[in-house]
Amino acid sequence: MRGNGKRQTVRLKDIANKTGYSINTISHALRGMNDIGEETRNYILKTASELGYVKNSIAQSMRLGYTKTIAVILGDISNPHFAILTKEIENTASKHGYSVFLLNTNEDEDQEETAIRTAIQHNVDGIILCPVQKSDRNVRFLQKSNIPFVLIGRYFPGMEGVSYTICNDVKGGYIATEYLIRHGHRRILLLTGPSHISSAKERLDGYRAALSDNGIEYDDSLVIEVPIMETDCSTLLPEDGYTAIFAFSDIIAWSAWKILRERGKRVPEDVSIIGFDHIQSRLALPYTLCSVSSYKAKMSITSVEMLISIINGNKDAESIIIDTDIAKGESVSTIS
């Protein structure tokens, strides 16, 4: 019965045996309930620490029905943008007494489903999800399963009852494009993300709006979709026909800069570049990339607090849109 892979641990029962009190008394004493005598409590606490007691959260969860854990499910933790979000999420969760399960989807819908099922199996109290969005299948499943969850960074427009924290992607797309236009650019290449991803779609909307507001005609051939898990977009980048690039992410922007340089073009003299996410707020690099800043800490903290509020019984879906701003950098210059 024992020795089935179970480590020998100290249980309430062991403290009970040692002290002569009942399991119940031990439990109450350890949790500081005020129905235990002063002396008794001290004796119990001392014995517990001597024996090296650590509470068994699994057993506690079994009884109480919650685990004080949340799952963070996102595309790829090795992407600095997600890594920074995750850092802040873990930090905030931990302040609220929650531990974090980390699960990657690799932007694949089936892996996302597996991740969600894994999270539910482990009885997480809630899920923070950056959805793959190839379809709304998995989010529908989440809704049906009745587990508290919030989306981060991406959302499903028109879907009711789903809480999310995103940044203002439309504005981000708009101000990035406008910023380039104000620097004299009219042929602006958009390296966009897959159109099923809401942030990609909305940044494109912002791009188009800014062009339109400035009397520049939208040109299909200047919009290129970069696969979401791709870091190398060398085959996708046109040789010329543009003086500036607006990239869906800093990762893509840096990659484009690299390719341009390999082709002998100078940034920003020949081509200006603006990215998205402003990962340089956390990563010192010698050359500064102009970028749209999305306040990752605020986004993370908000989504954790939103989730905890749902876990605690708040039934109303909330949506929070974090502001976006231009973070200036040397990758953009004025052309005549």
Partner DNA sequence: TTGTAAGCGTTATCAA
Partner DNA sequence: TTGATAACGCTTACAA
Contacts to a second copy by CB under 8 A: 4-8, 52, 54-59, 61-62, 64-67, 69, 72, 76-80, 83-84, 86-87, 90-91, 94, 99-104, 117-118, 120-123, 144-147, 231-232, 251, 254-255, 257-258, 260-261, 267, 282-287
The correct pick among 32, 35, 220, 262 for binding DNA (CB under 7 A) is: 35
Pairing status of strand 223-225 against strand 188-192 = parallel
If the CB atoms of residues 46 and 266 are measured against DNA, the closer one turns out to be 46
Of DNA, a second copy, none, which one does residue 17 interact with (CB within 5 to 8 Å by kind)? Answer: none
Those residues whose C-beta lies under 8 Å from the C-beta of residue 168, and which sit 6 or more positions away, are 321, 322, 323, 324
Residue 125 binds DNA (CB under 7 A): no
Binding-residue total with DNA (CB under 7 A): 30
Of a second copy, DNA, none, which one does residue 7 interact with (CB within 5 to 8 Å by kind)? Answer: a second copy
Q: What is the DSSP letter of 316?
A: S
Tell which positions 7-26 bind DNA, by CB under 7 A: 9, 11-13, 20-25
Whether the CA torsion 296, 149, 227, 220 is positive or negative: it is: negative
Residue 315 binds DNA (CB under 7 A): no
Residue 259: name the closest of 240, 285, 280, 279 by CA: 240
User: If DSSP codes are grouped into helix, strand and coil, which group holds residue 293?
Assistant: strand
Contact (Cβ atoms closer than 8 angstroms) between residue 282 and residue 297: no
If the CB atoms of residues 12 and 252 are measured against DNA, the closer one turns out to be 12
Of a second copy, DNA, none, which one does residue 190 interact with (CB within 5 to 8 Å by kind)? Answer: none
Residue 301: name the closest of 74, 92, 83, 81 by CA: 92
